[in-house]
Amino acid sequence: MKPLLRFFCRIVLLCPILATTPSFAAPASGPPANKPPIHIEADRMVSMKNENAVLFSGNVDAKQGQMVIRAAEMTVYYLSNDEKAQLPQSEERSLKKLFASGNVEIQNDGMTGTGDKMEYYEAERKMILIGNSKVWQDNNLVTGHTVVVFLDQGKSIVERGEKKGERVKAFFYPSGEGPEKEVKSAQ
């Protein structure tokens, strides 16, 4: 089997990166046992065997179940055979980390996150949106320079940037109210 085909057959990419949302959402329940197939489209793909990585560039569109990640570029790093052999027998995974950059957008289960960059670390099940980060759930919005989501802990951290006057902002609306309703009532 060719190395690239073997990679796609064994990789478990994009476990629900945002199966949980920032801490104002319900706690996470952990990764699902049966993951749906992964579909990635891009203008270009480069396999980097020495780095155990695959680089997708140009209008990257990655989907797994309801989750969608869009970016200008995405690099998927997978575990080497030696690293896989060191995992506990109960842990079956191939993904090590994933980096995306350039107008990153993540959609999953009624939540949308955007940022300049995204980093995902499978072992820690930690996702980080970096630069102009925004996360929406329903009409609620949280913004900051960096949003860190700990998927299995139901916890998130939003941090401001280093620019003077930059602050973390959160907008929470009672159920059924918010910006969309305000726009409709103003018409």
**Percentage above 90 pLDDT, the chain:** 44
The CA distance from 148 to 120, in Å, is: 10
Most confident region among 63-67, 105-109, 141-145, 178-182 by mean pLDDT: 141-145
Higher pLDDT, 65 or 13: 65
Amino acid at 181: K
**Domain-wise residue ranges, the chain:** 3-186
The pLDDT tens digits for 160-180 are 999 898 999 999 888 766 555
Q: pTM for this structure?
A: 0.72
Q: Residue 53 pLDDT > 90, yes or no?
A: yes
Q: Answer whether 68's CB lies under 8 Å from 62's CB.
A: yes
Higher pLDDT, 179 or 155: 155
Angle at 133 between CA 151 and CA 27, to 5 degrees: 25
Q: Residue 37 pLDDT > 90, yes or no?
A: no
Q: Answer whether 144's CB lies under 8 Å from 169's CB.
A: yes
Position of tokens 């609620």? 140
Which CATH number among 2.60.40.420, 3.30.420.10, 1.10.238.10, 2.60.450.10 corresponds to the domain 3-186?
Answer: 2.60.450.10
| 138 closest CA partner among 174, 167, 105 | 174
